[in-house]
């Protein structure tokens, strides 16, 4: 994964046996999807490791950015890189730890999830997340809410409405771990919630 602030901090909160998440920070604040993919592919990893690209749609699906964004997603898939996209931003995923998907579906832009996090938590700073705000036992609820939300979204790779597909990464993490190594809060994540 590549990002500068929130995802790196967020995933550092969870120490899981046998499964490690390494977040590759962006350089020079470049979050252009094709650049992110290039940096991720350069990351030294083992053959059986999974590569995931966390992307925000934010401004990337507007005007002249859209074509390159779509191409980066296609290139990632062709190279075996998984994409966990959030519309409009990663903060929507964080909100799903705290509130129902029906609340977050209508937030119009990337500023609104941050504003909602500030309201729900009393404060929010993407450069200084607090581990206590996203406890391990909230992940299952966040995954359930995100998958439920994502099931209603049209548009495929470029969702038409708000969603977060970070739940797919969590399900992959749960699938890679032995059941005996998973905390109780994460057991069953690799099973589809709709089953």
Structure confidence by residue, pLDDT tens digits, 17-37: 667 787 776 665 566 788 888
Task: Specify the long-range contacts of residues 77-81, CB closer than 8 Å, at least 24 apart.
Answer: 79/37, 79/41, 80/51, 81/37, 81/40, 81/41, 81/51, 81/52, 81/53
> Given this model, what pLDDT does residue 30 score?
60
Q: How far apart are CA 16 and CA 118, in angstroms?
A: 28
How long is the chain?
A: 195
* Other residues' Cβ atoms within 10 Å of the Cβ of residue 39: 16
Domain assignment of residue 131, yes or no: yes
- Tell me the pLDDT band of 194, cut-offs 50, 70 and 90: very low
Domain assignment of residue 139, yes or no: yes
Q: Provide the token pair at 70.
A: 């779509």
> Given this model, what pLDDT does residue 86 score?
93
pLDDT at 55 over 80: yes
Domain assignment of residue 144, yes or no: yes
- Tell me the pLDDT band of 188, cut-offs 50, 70 and 90: confident
Domain assignment of residue 191, yes or no: no
Domain assignment of residue 15, yes or no: yes
Domain assignment of residue 193, yes or no: no
Domain assignment of residue 194, yes or no: no
Quick check: pTM over 0.85? yes
Domain assignment of residue 20, yes or no: yes
Give the number of domains in the chain.
Answer: 1
Query: What range defines the domain where residue 19 resides?
Result: 6-186
């Amino acid at each position: 994964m590549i990002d500068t602030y929130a995802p790196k901090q967020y995933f550092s909160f969870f120490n899981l046996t046998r499964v490690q998440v390494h977040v590759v920070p962006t350089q020079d604040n470049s979050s252009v999807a094709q650049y992110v993919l290039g940096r991720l592919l350069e990351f030294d990893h083992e053959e059986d490791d999974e590569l995931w690209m966390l992307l925000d749609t934010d401004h990337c699906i507007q005007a002249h950015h859209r074509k390159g964004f779509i191409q980066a997603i296609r290139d990632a898939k062709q190279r075996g890189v998984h994409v966990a996209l959030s519309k409009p931003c990663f903060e929507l995923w964080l909100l799903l730890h705290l509130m129902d998907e029906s609340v977050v579906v209508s937030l119009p832009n990337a500023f609104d999830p941050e504003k909602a996090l500030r309201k729900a938590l009393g404060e929010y700073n993407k450069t200084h997340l607090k581990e206590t705000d996203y406890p391990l036992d909230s992940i299952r609820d966040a995954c359930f809410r995100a998958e439920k939300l994502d099931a209603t979204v049209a548009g495929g790779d470029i969702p038409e409405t708000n969603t977060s597909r970070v739940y797919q990464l969590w399900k992959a993490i749960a699938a890679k771990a032995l059941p005996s190594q998973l905390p109780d809060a994460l057991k069953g994540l690799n099973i589809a919630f709709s089953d």
